Amino acid sequence: MLYLSQLSIGERCVVVSVKGEGAIRRRLLDMGITSGTEIYLRKKAPFGDPIEIALRGYELTLRKAEAARVEIERL
């Protein structure tokens, strides 16, 4: 299984599901990371973490630990 945290810069993927529970999961869902959403990994911060992704026409940053909850398929 592949997770969003494993994606490299410039790669695209589609969300399969968001794991876990509670506030963090809900926030990920609310921000539009739902199954079938296309995500593009734009960049990583100077220290390698957090990452910046583009989805639904806007940019979002999240930590690798949070991205590790998002199961994806590479495009």
Partner 1 sequence: MLKFALVGNPNSGKTTLFNALTGSTARVGNWPGVTVDKRVGVHKTGERAVDIVDLPGIYSLSPYTPEEVVARNFLLDERPDCLIDIVDATNLERNLYLTTQLMELDLPMVVALNMTDVLDKRGDRIDVRALEKRLGLPVVEISALKAANLELLTERALQAVTTPRKGETVLKNSPLGAAITGAEIALRLKGVEAPLFHAVKLVEGDGLEIKNHPAEAEAAQAFLAAHGTAKGQGEALDTEAAIADARYQYITARFSPTLLRAKKYACDELSPSDKADKLLTDKRLGIPVFLVILFAVFHFTFSKDLFFLGALIPSFGAWCAAEGGALKSVFFSDGLHSVGVLLFNALDLLTGQVGEGLGIGLRALGAGEALTGLVCDGVWGGLAAVLGFLPQILTLFFFFSLLEDTGYMARVAFMLDRLLRRFGVSGRAFMPMIMGFGCSVPAIVGTRTLADEKEREATVRVIPFFACGAKLPVLTAIAGGIVAYFGKGNADIVTYSMYLLGVTVALLSLLFMRNTTMRGEASPFIMELPAYRTPGIKSLALHLWDKAKHFLQKAFTVIFASTLVVWFSSSFGWDWKYLGKEGMEHSVLASIGKLLQPLFTPLGFGSQLTSTGWVFAVAALTGLIAKENVIATLGALAACLSPSFIGATEEGVYEVTTMIAATGITMPALLSFIAFNMLTVPCFAAVAAARSELGRGKLKRTLLFWLVVSCLTSCIVYTVGSWAWTAVPWSVLAAFTVVGIALYKKRAVEPPPPRVRGKRGCCRCGGCKAKAACGAKKE
Q: If binding is defined by CB under 8 A, does position 30 make contact with partner 1?
A: yes
The answer to the question of residue 49 lying near partner 1 (CB under 8 A) is yes
Q: Is 14 in the site for partner 1 (CB under 8 A)?
A: no
Return d(Cα 36, Cα 29) in angstroms, integer.
12
Residue in 3, 6, 60, 68 binding partner 1, rule: CB under 8 A: 60
Which tokens is 69 given?
A: 């909850």
Q: How far apart are CA 22 and CA 66, in angstroms?
A: 12
Dihedral in degrees, nearest 10, Cα atoms 47, 48, 49, 54: 130
Q: Does 32 bind partner 1 (CB under 8 A)?
A: yes
In the complex, the residues that contact partner 1 under the rule CB under 8 A are 10, 17-18, 21-32, 34-38, 40, 42-50, 52, 54-63, 66
